[in-house]
């Protein structure tokens, strides 16, 4: 069935079902090009949903899903013109896909896209189409079987103003570009549908400055100078948040286990409430100002920078936190180090499969408590409760019961001092 000069409709029998996708071909050129979301939307063959307000969207396969099976949004470019971002669900779209990126028009897929994910493309006012690969490089070719790096999904779950690439498609904003209201839109929490993994789900955020969740490595640079993060900001998924300008966190910032914050030399990061889970780290080359710290000050490391903390809330057995006043970060560390009881600690083996040993050596008598928490902060075991020991060595042999393979956090309190050690249980 002809749809125009040198065009035809082909049946895709390699996809999740039988459907149609459109191929354009030229007689004097080998191969064909699959028409993507932009062309199909521009010609009125499909109706891509325009994202304008906070919403959760399910996106089916571009070629076999419903008529509105892609999304788009309008973006302001660095030169004050506007472009559009298209997101479409590509999977098994046939053996003749030809994709391109700016400055590299010969990049080609000879096998089609063999993985389910969102393909992001940026269309300028001049109708220039550029692919935005999730890992900053085009992986299409004979040696790439799945092209996971090109597609956005659980492994690359975000496009925000501060990820790389950013939602505008830039690897890094230029010096002349300043973000203003309307520029802080984000595509967040890209994931597979729980009941149907061929369907992609995303959350659209119209203003990522509020309740920001950093799931991918992110950098807030000079383009966002003076930005204020409100609500509850979170750094999670093992990602790193780098600050390279002055930032104010008016609400709270939580750094999850395995995640980190790097305060650059040109940055002042002011935080109202900072929550640090065991295993989270902050490195400071610039200035870090904290009103209330919930966590261990020793997890904040200076690299030529300055840290000030008004209040530290230490871990305790009864409530989880107890408040203490300190005039600054350095004094807080000194007070903790000057505790009356000198304690040495050894936790082994790590990882462990059956028994975890905790060796504690004290120079004077002490009361010992040992708690074990999961990654969500829930208490799962309390092997030692208020046991008194004289000067010398104390050993605990802990055998987990009813716990699954995972990382846990062992909190040891002895003589008024507390230490948290992450351990991996691998039965």
Taking the CA of residue 38 as centre, how many other CA atoms within 13 Å lie in the half-sphere pointing to its CB? 19
Q: Which of 176, 101, 102 is nearest to 139 (CA)?
A: 101
Residues of the chain with pLDDT > 70: what percent?
72
Q: State CA 16 to chain mean position distance.
A: 29
Residue 174: partners with Cβ closer than 8 Å, 6 or more residues away: 78
- Give the position of tokens 């399910």: 58
Residues of the chain with pLDDT > 90: what percent?
25
CA distance 411 to 404: 19
Q: Render pLDDT for 365-421 as a digit per residue (tens, 0 to 9).
A: 888 889 888 876 778 888 988 888 877 778 889 998 888 888 888 888 887 777 888
The three-state secondary structure class of 250 is strand
Task: Compute the average pLDDT of residues 2-6.
Answer: 37
Q: Render pLDDT for 221-269 as a digit per residue (tens, 0 to 9).
A: 999 989 999 999 999 988 999 999 999 999 999 999 889 999 999 999 9
CA distance 154 to 78: 29
Q: Render pLDDT for 91-134 as a digit per residue (tens, 0 to 9).
A: 544 444 444 444 444 444 444 455 678 888 888 776 677 778 88
Task: Compute the average pLDDT of residues 310-329.
Answer: 48
What is the 3-state composition of the chain as percent helix, strand, coil, each rounded to the nearest 5? 5, 45, 50
- The DSSP result for 282-329, as a single string, is EEESSEEEEEEEES-GGGEEESS-EEEEEEEEE--TTTS-EEEE-SSH
140 falls in which pLDDT band (50, 70, 90)? low
Could you tell me the domains of the chain? 1-208 (no CATH), 220-338 (no CATH), 343-425 (2.60.40.3080)
Task: Compute the average pLDDT of residues 293-309.
Answer: 87
The answer to whether the beta carbons of residues 310 and 291 sit under 8 Å apart is yes
Of the listed ranges 24-28, 86-90, 214-218, 401-405, the one predicted with least confidence: 24-28
pLDDT at res. 324: 39
The mean of the pLDDT values for the chain is: 76
Task: Compute the average pLDDT of residues 214-220.
Answer: 94
CA distance 7 to 303: 61
């Amino acid at each position: 069935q002809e749809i125009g000069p040198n065009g035809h409709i082909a049946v895709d029998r390699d996809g999740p079902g039988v459907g149609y996708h459109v191929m354009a071909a030229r007689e004097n050129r080998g191969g064909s090009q699959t028409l993507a979301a932009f062309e199909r939307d521009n010609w009125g063959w499909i109706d891509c949903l325009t994202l304008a307000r906070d919403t959760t969207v399910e996106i089916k396969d571009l070629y076999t899903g419903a008529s509105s099976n892609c999304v788009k949004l309008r973006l302001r470019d660095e030169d004050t013109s506007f472009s559009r971002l298209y997101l479409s669900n590509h999977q098994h779209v046939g053996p003749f896909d030809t994709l391109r990126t700016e400055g590299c028009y010969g990049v080609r897929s000879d096998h089609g896209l063999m993985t389910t994910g969102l393909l992001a493309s940026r269309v300028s006012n001049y109708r220039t189409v550029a692919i935005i690969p999730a890992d900053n490089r085009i992986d299409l070719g004979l040696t790439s079987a799945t092209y996971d790096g090109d597609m956005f999904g659980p492994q690359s779950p975000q496009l925000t103003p501060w990820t790389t690439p950013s939602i505008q498609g830039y690897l890094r904003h230029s010096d002349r570009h300043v973000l203003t209201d309307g520029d802080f839109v984000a595509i967040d929490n890209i994931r597979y549908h729980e009941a149907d993994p061929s369907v992609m789900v995303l959350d659209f955020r119209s203003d990522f400055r509020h309740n920001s969740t950093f799931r991918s490595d992110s950098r807030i640079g000079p383009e966002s100078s003076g930005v204020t993060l409100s609500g509850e900001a979170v750094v999670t998924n093992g990602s790193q948040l780098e600050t390279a300008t002055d930032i104010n966190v008016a609400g709270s910032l939580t750094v999850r286990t395995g995640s980190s914050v790097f305060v650059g030399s040109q940055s002042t990061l002011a935080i109202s409430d900072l929550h640090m889970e065991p295993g989270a780290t902050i490195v400071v080359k610039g200035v870090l100002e904290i009103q209330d710290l919930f966590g261990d000050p020793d997890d904040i490391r200076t690299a030529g920078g300055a840290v000030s903390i008004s209040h530290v809330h230490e871990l305790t057995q009864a409530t989880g936190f107890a408040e203490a006043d300190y005039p600054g970060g350095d004094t807080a560390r000194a007070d903790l180090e000057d505790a009356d009881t000198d304690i040495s600690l050894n936790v082994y083996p790590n990882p462990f499969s059956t028994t975890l040993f905790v060796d504690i050596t004290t120079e004077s008598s002490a009361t010992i408590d040992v708690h074990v928490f999961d990654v969500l902060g829930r208490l799962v075991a309390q092997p030692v409760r208020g046991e008194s020991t004289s000067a010398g060595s104390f050993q605990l042999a802990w055998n987990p019961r009813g716990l699954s393979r995972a990382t846990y956090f062992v909190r040891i309190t002895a003589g008024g001092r507390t230490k948290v050690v992450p351990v991996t249980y691998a039965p």
